[in-house]
Structure 1
Amino acid sequence: MKRLSHTKWLSLFLILALASQALWAGAAFAADSISKLVLNKNEISLQVGDTATLSATAIFVSGTTENATVKTDWNSGTPEVASVYAGVVTAKKEGKATITATYMGQTEVVTVTVSKKVKSLTSDVKSLDLRLNSTQQLTITAYYEDGTSENVSTLADYTVAASTIATVTNGLVRGQNPGSGTITVKYMNQSLTLDVDVEVVRRLDADKSDVSLLKNGTSKVKLMATYPDGTTSDVASKAVWTSDKPDVADVINGTITGYSVGKATLTASYGTKTTTIRVDVDSTVKLELDKTSILLKKNGTGQLKLTATYADGSTSDISDRAEWSSSDEDVVQVTKGKLLGTDIGEATVFAKYGDRTVAASIDVEVPHRLVVSADSLTLQADANASLDLYATYADGTTATVTDSATWSVDHEDIAMVTKGKVKAFKSGIATITASYGGKTTTTRVEVDVPTSVKLSQKAVNMQSGDSANVTLTAYFKDRSAGVDVTDKATWTSSDEKIAEASKGAITGVATGAATITAEYGTRKAVLQVSVGELKSLTVSEEKLVLKKGASAKLTAEALYTDATKSDVTSDVIWTSSNTKAVTVDQGVVKAIASGTATITAQLDSKTVTIPVDVDMASDLSASVMNIVMDLNETRTIVLTATDASGAARTVTGDAEWKTSNASILSVSKGVVTPVARGKAAVTATYGGKSISIPVEIGVIDSLKASKTFFITKSGDQTQLTVTATMSDGTTKDVTNTATWKVAAYKIGSIENGLFTATGSGKTTITVSFGGKTVAIPVEVDTLKYLKTDVVKLELKEGQTANVSAIATYSDGSEDDVTKPALWTTSNIMIADVKDGVIKATGKGTARISVTFANMRTTVQVTVTK
């Protein structure tokens, strides 16, 4: 009985204790209820197979917070696209999913976008060689991990290292200015780099160096551009021609015209090269050789014929009467136009008649051009390489002369060369020279030369007697990691009375500033050392106003806390905010071009700035307000700049000239040359001012397309043509030269008027030419009806049925569109569908929808057990 009573009391005690604890916990819970649930992300973009971690933080009414990630209930609305467990989201397949996080009655959602994972990125070309203003379309292909691939040319991001060289729009590369650079292509997690050359011309040669003309006479000249790949092209009509005496002679599109008696020099510029032609205009007589250049073999012979043309148009062979001479008779001898090659070399043969002289270039087994297989080599010590040498003669033939040439190197301790075979010895730079037939070419050899070197510190502040250690790291093009070259580098101090340096050890000697230079393999890095605390830094000038080409010297003085002063001009870091206008080196400021810049002098933490103005104009005016012209004409604009003092001067040749549309016209030093019909503007910039002159070159009156509207189907092609009516009333088929565009690229594409339908819908084709535009509406897959062969189905669970979709087009034709149509289900738990195959998955009623060409119809499906 007592035992039973004890048990009852114990049970009663436990019940009271638990009740008390529950009451206490309930009170605590009420006092600390949740205020809101905060997730670290609201949106996530992943590729298939990637994961992302979500965290959940509970914020309570009391102000306390808790990491509730593990306690939170995580759910995915579409687990087949993205699943979630304890906050870790895993991307399963392409699509969108919504992640729901719930804790203590609070719910937050995260939107997840899953795309296919890019495995690699490729381009159809590894490098581009463009002509000026020409284009080339890149084809960028992304390969996904699921084995599929996609043309992403219009989706990728493009970056041009030298933005003035070329531009890229949706993979279309356009050459803007001559030069070389790189294009970086990036798409999702992958990237690649392509080299691009624009109008890189190796040589520019005119087929005539001297031309004699009668007054009002003409002469056609060829201008041959030689490109790095060895190809040549006559660019006489594309080059920019100038004449030092345009009233005597000038040239348009390669045709020289003599206007008045006298002599003139014509200059042709193309790409980055120039060449000149001397022109002699005579009203009474013209001398002309039948050849301007001849290639002879040693001891071989040749013949030149000299013809005189008189004012009445008559001509005469005066080879026997002219005075002939050779610039080097050891190479070529000449008698009455008959040539004899006596030794290998080059010479010029002159024919003089009266006060007129003409000349011809004679090569005796001399190469016209010498090309080495590599302009530069990058080698490691003890490595080998081979160079090949090619000689091109005046007759266009090419031969390998590697073994016959004379090879030399300027630093034999760095590298050695024998018949083109190169052996590298130690770090440094050497130049290999190959000579043959009076021609030479060079190759730069870099042996263990780093692309850059970097100090572990940029500046050191110390007191007299203190020391510090810095390291020098070298980075090489062919090595992924940097190399410590502290002990191998050469260390120098700008002032050893202030600071000393040896193998990275810096020692402060006396108060002041010094610059420590560490050099390794032609690369240098500088360290600014300040011994004693710097109080202030001053520069000798507060502002500079310079003319183009002028220079000025700035000095810098440092004041230290111990009251000592020091000239630190060579120790401060000098920089210019605009190096195109102003450069600075060791305090020497040079005015390069008109503009403004700020010079900055920095020593330790002290900085001083000096504004600089170069040839800035207060007003700019042009000789004409607008230009109206036609093809085959030129106009000259004279530009006048007025400075702040009111003084005016002609700056036509100094200004920067640009055209708003290089395909319409070109401009150089104020000379406007038409290229095609249309409207454009010429802009001149000088001294911070710009002026624009509108130019109109005969535009067309109207443009007419062969169709004003048409209907087609996906996969079909339709050829369109366009005719331009010119201002003189004539017509011209411009289908292949006009610009064609499709408003909706997903519906179709067009090239030279050939439209290819690729998708359903309505869009507009626009064609532009000569400033005129015509719009052509087009409809693809325009349907009249969309029907299925059944409208109701009764299936048992697990059964399948095939349903066909028939499209009736507006022209009355029909197609089975079961495969290309889009099939969807209202409830995948009752019925699923793919390409018209319906599968019963559970009891109930579902609606199957089929959509094609913006039309939709449904099939009612009833599933029983």
Structure 2
Amino acid sequence: MRTNKPAAPAKFRPWLTFLLAIVLTFSSFAGLAYADDVVTGISFDNAPSPARIYIDDDTLQVDVVASISGSSSQKNVTLDAAWTTSNSSIVKVTSGQLTAIAKGSATISATYKGFKVSLPVTVDYLYDSVTIKNDGTAVDSAINVKLGDELDYDLIAVKSGSADQNVTDDATWTSSDADVATVEDGKIKLLAAGVTTITAKFKGRTDTVKLTVASPYKSLSLSNNDLLEFTYGDPTEALTATSLSTESVSSDVTGKATWTTSSATVATVDKGVVTPVGVGTATITAEYLGVSSSVTVVVRPAFEAMRLTPKEDQHILLKESPVPFTAVVLNGDDAPLDVTAKATWTSSNVFAATVSKEGLVSPKGIGATVIKASYMGVTQQVNVTVYPSVSSLTAAKDKMDAYVDDDNVTLPKVSATTIADETVDVSSVVTWTSSDKDIFDKVDGKWKAKKVGKVTLTGAIQSKSVTVTVNVHEQPLMLSSDQENLSVVIGKDTKLPTITMTYDSGNEEDVTSLVTWKSSSANLIVKAPNVKGIKASAVTLTATYLGKSTSIRVTIEEEITKLLVDNLAPVYSPARTYTLKVTGVYKSGKTVSLASKMNWTMDSEELATIKGSSIKTIKEGTFKLTGTYQGKSVVISVSVIGKLKKMTPSSKSLTMAPAAKETVNVTGEYEGGRVGDVTKAALWTTGNNKVATVEDGVITAIAKGSTYVRAKVEGKTISIHVSVK
């Protein structure tokens, strides 16, 4: 059996009606949001046809509407349509907005959803022409004017069938050369001689007038065109400006001219009245309607120079007494004039220090200032630095080195701890005294080392002091070591090399105990007078003293048990370079080439030089070469003997009778330039002993015939032709 639900009470029915209306409303919106419009056509909305627009006038907005299937209303699609123009040089279209470009005709089109509509457009000028007029009369296209002329033009717009319009205020006015003339709403201001074109433009139409601007005057002259000279403090001087017109008429234009100065700190000018205000030069210029004239002004100081006392920079403490300054001015041989009370005194930083009218400088705060005195065109200044009160002093170093005749020694910086527990540099405030002025003293404001010795310098500020020891030396020239190479056995102490300082005077000093040693590696520990090697490696050991340094190559290695030399008695030629070969044998049995690492000495440095493993011979002789390494030594006996280069016989050919005897001597030339007789050292032979025999250069003729007698020395041979008749 079907059961019917009871109907809603009557009081709820209005609410149900309202809710149903809301649902239906949103359902309609949903349909509009998601349903695709079906366009049946498009058209212009109230567009004039044909449309007419004017150049430089307002744009024309054209809208496009679309007809929608099933709807009686039209949809505005102006912004969605694609717009084109048949001639963009005539009319431009953007989203239906038409802008006139040039006179002519074009067609604009809109396309939407496959439909297209077009509109013919005519572009024209709003006015037929515009004309620049002066008092109702059109001005010529080119006119000549003069500076001072007043020009006030109108622009009249003309349109057939309409009354002429004065569009002066609405037009755009321009000048092609704003330096010659400017224009605003037809009013022209002439500025300088020259040529400019005035253009007036309105609604696409323009008119121009070419202005040739000239001065109405030929020239302008000043009552003083040469040089206007002042001494600082002189009274003013008046100049008169006179113009000469193109008709040769003179006029006083002093009050009308524009007066300028190139330097207002030197001289000012007002209507021709020149006032000197400072030392220097300036140019005063008068200009009037295109003509000008100038005069040079020079203002000289009343005195040649000023001198301040004290003249040096001042470094004072905050709580010190004021420092009095005096100022005098000078002129050549004239007696100095004290102008302390007359000068103008200034302080560039009154926080740091002030200066009274009488030149008394008072410290006021921590900082720096420039105290300047000026009087009648001359000035002078001194730098003043104010430091805080100090509680203690510390020098950057308590020992320093100086050199004899060095007259510009720089003392260590001194720092002070202030009462505020801050650290400041007070080097400039410290007063130094020397314990021995014969050794080290201040000369002409500079510290100078006079002779070798030691002094104590004491620097003081108020009751606080600090001391520095100064060691004065001769001028150092070179620091050298007795060893270029040092072999250090791993784990064993090795004595440091001996270091010698050579001074400019030629004196030498053993400074081994004074040098500062530095190792390039932690593998080598330096603890004077020894070094110790920790790990096998190559290290550079550097000794430094008095600004000079020398370096030693250090090899940290195993202990060497023996040294082997390839040739203990070599024979070398002079002026040649040879390489030594020395082999070291380690405890482990390994070998190493040591020639370049050994320390070599020789008993005759005139015969050869040695560097590393290379020995360069100089001349003939015999010497001993000693090499040391790890305390072991090897001695090599070296002979430098020149090789035979050439032999020359006393006779190259002989003619002899049987039984006759002739002696031939042979001279040998050796490397190095030595020349000697090698006759008896030669091996003599004859080609035919039936013709002649030879012994030690003595040739004996035996029988008629010819032969050669030969002498041979060190592989070189000479021949003598012998003919027996």
TM-score by length of 2: 0.29
Higher relative contact order (CA 8 A, sep 6+): 2
Q: In terms of Rg, which structure is larger? A: 2
TM-score by length of 1: 0.25
